[in-house]
């Protein structure tokens, strides 16, 4: 009988036993930074001008609301958007007293265009996330085309959506569309040194299921190595998808994942990365919960606060992205990422 695959903390302990501990993790990161905010995610049970009641993974949560609470539901929204059954991500105020921002039924579709219609696109989101049929309503089409002029098969797309009974509906572009085809990405030279600290773009990945539906089954999502088919991160969890998960052995990566445009050290599922938001000044250490092979295809920049170096170096769960000060509808923030890699393992890179 084969031994079970080590996961999470067990995998980190096994790695450290072989390679030794990780080097000092503050090196290359700001000496001082604010911690991540305590984000809440769940399904709306009830809402009033003064109180939002959610069902979360940890039970019922009651969050105070004020006149200053901002609500997003495909754009600016009001209390009418807080309907029972809808999924929300809630960022607290800096003092922790009440909700600052509420995102309602927000989702994101990132991947390669497979087919296009007059008002929709079919997107391959990668082996772990399956495919999505995205409707682009007339009021959003112009905005999407400004930053994604090539709605053609073979090109990349990245759109922020709102979930609906008919599937995800595009609201705005997540970032600008790369000018190359998805299969035409130039990888770094083999001799390119692997930095201990990465500078680039942090984005987020999220659920595109229909409201009230279930996550697509294994046949829809595929059975990528390293993740139980049909599974997804628990809503509200802090986690990351990393573009260079080791495809060999039990690392959890995709065998056909692209090299990307940034030299990155290999990690395995269960490893950790420390992420610092250069725009908001917050930092947190998050576990790698998924292979971010689709992110490796994007050699783009974030311009939320200045212009980041090219390349997506981490994708975060919505809660982690918001907790680090990101705005979900903006799509990205300029990031510094420190992978927790033993010094002896730094030579292996994608």
Same domain, 301 and 213: yes
Same domain, 13 and 67: no
CATH number of the domain at 47, please: 2.40.50
pLDDT at residue number 9: 43
Total-model pTM: 0.85
Residue 162 in domain: no
Give the whole-angstrom CA distance, residue 184 versus residue 25. 35
Give the whole-angstrom CA distance, residue 54 versus residue 210. 19
E strand or H helix at 231? none
Which of the four pLDDT bands, split at 50, 70 and 90, describes residue 54? very high
Res. 146: pLDDT tops 60: yes
- Yes or no: say if 120 and 166 are a contact pair by the CB < 8 Å rule: no
Same domain, 20 and 44: no
* Phi-psi region at 295: left, alpha or beta (left = phi > 0; alpha = psi -120 to 50): alpha
Residue 164 in domain: no
Same domain, 219 and 332: yes
Last residue of a domain, one of 104, 135, 160: 104
Residue 143 in domain: no
Residue 278 in domain: yes
Q: Which two tokens stand for residue 89?
A: 């991500």
Same domain, 88 and 188: no
Res. 300: pLDDT tops 80: yes
Same domain, 222 and 328: yes
CATH number of the domain at 306, please: 2.40.40.10
Q: What is the DSSP string of 164-205?
A: -TTS-EEEEESSPPPSSBTT-PPPPPTT----SSEEEEEEE-
**Domain assignment of residue 56, given as a range:** 40-104
Last residue of a domain, one of 75, 104, 133: 104
- Over residues 25-53, the pLDDT tens digits come to 445 677 778 999 999 999 999 999 999 99
Same domain, 203 and 285: yes
Closest CA to 323 of 25, 74, 54, 40: 40
- Over residues 117-134, the pLDDT tens digits come to 999 999 999 988 899 999
pLDDT at residue number 328: 96
* Least confident segment among 79-88, 204-213, 316-325: 204-213
Closest CA to 224 of 256, 268, 254: 254
Residue 222 in domain: yes
pLDDT at residue number 128: 84
Give the whole-angstrom CA distance, residue 148 versus residue 291. 25
Rg of the chain, C-alpha, whole Å: 20
Same domain, 17 and 70: no
Give the whole-angstrom CA distance, residue 290 versus residue 308. 24
What integer is the mean pLDDT of 126-147? 94
Query: Based on the structure, what is the number of domains in the chain?
Result: 2
Ranges of beta strands (E only) in 73-168 are 76-77, 87-92, 99-104, 106-116, 120-124, 131-135, 156-162
Phi, psi at 11, each rounded to 5°? -65, -40
Same domain, 295 and 223: yes
Which of the four pLDDT bands, split at 50, 70 and 90, describes residue 221? very low
Res. 339: pLDDT tops 60: yes
Which of the four pLDDT bands, split at 50, 70 and 90, describes residue 96? confident
pLDDT at residue number 337: 96
Same domain, 233 and 335: yes
Same domain, 192 and 329: yes
E strand or H helix at 9? helix 8-19
- CA distance to 42, 242, 299, per residue, from 275 (Å): 24, 12, 19
pLDDT at residue number 71: 97
Same domain, 85 and 218: no
Res. 312: pLDDT tops 70: yes
Residue 95 or residue 124, greater confidence: 124
Name residue, tokens 């009021």: 139
Give the whole-angstrom CA distance, residue 56 versus residue 42. 4
Which of the four pLDDT bands, split at 50, 70 and 90, describes residue 61? very high
What is the percent of the chain where pLDDT is above 70? Answer: 80
Last residue of a domain, one of 104, 129, 151: 104
Res. 231: pLDDT tops 50: no
Q: Which residues contact 157 (CB under 8 A, 6 or more apart)?
A: 109, 110, 111, 112, 113, 121, 123, 148, 151, 177
Report helix, strand or coil for 18: helix
Residue 174 in domain: no
pLDDT at residue number 32: 78
Residue 191 in domain: yes
Q: Which two tokens stand for residue 99?
A: 């909700």
Residue 138 in domain: no
């Amino acid at each position: 009988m084969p031994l079970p695959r080590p996961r999470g903390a067990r995998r980190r302990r096994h790695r450290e036993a072989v390679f030794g501990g990780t080097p000092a993790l503050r090196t290359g990161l700001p000496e001082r930074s604010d911690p991540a905010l305590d984000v809440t995610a769940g399904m709306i049970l009830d809402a009033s001008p003064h109180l939002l009641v959610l069902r979360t993974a940890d039970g019922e949560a009651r969050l105070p609301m004020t006149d200053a609470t901002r609500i997003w539901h495909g754009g600016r929204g009001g209390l009418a958007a807080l309907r029972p059954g809808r999924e929300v991500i809630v960022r607290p105020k800096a003092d922790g007293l009440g909700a600052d921002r509420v995102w309602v039924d927000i989702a994101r579709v990132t991947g390669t265009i497979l087919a296009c219609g007059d008002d929709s696109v079919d997107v391959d989101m990668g082996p772990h996330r399956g495919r999505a049929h995205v409707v682009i309503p007339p009021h959003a089409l112009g905005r999407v085309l400004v930053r994604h002029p090539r709605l053609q098969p073979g090109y990349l797309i990245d759109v922020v959506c709102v979930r609906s009974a008919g599937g995800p509906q595009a609201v705005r572009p997540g970032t600008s569309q790369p000018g190359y085809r998805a299969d035409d990405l130039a990888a770094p030279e083999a001799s390119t040194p692997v930095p201990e600290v990465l500078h680039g773009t942090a984005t987020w990945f999220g659920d595109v299921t229909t409201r009230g539906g279930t996550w697509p089954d294994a046949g829809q999502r595929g059975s990528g190595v390293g993740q139980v088919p049909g599974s997804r991160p628990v809503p509200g969890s802090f986690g990351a998808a990393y573009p260079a998960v080791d495809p060999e052995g039990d690392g959890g990566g995709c065998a056909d994942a692209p090299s990307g445009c940034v030299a990155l050290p290999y990690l395995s599922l269960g490893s950790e990365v420390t992420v610092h938001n250069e725009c908001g000044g917050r930092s947190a250490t998050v576990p790698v919960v998924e292979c971010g092979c689709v992110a490796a295809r994007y050699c783009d920049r974030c311009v939320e606060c200045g212009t980041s170096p090219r390349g997506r170096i981490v994708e975060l769960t919505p809660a982690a992205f918001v907790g680090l000060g990101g705005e979900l509808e903006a799509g990205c923030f300029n990031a510094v990422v420190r992978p927790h890699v033993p010094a002896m393992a730094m030579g292996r890179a994608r």
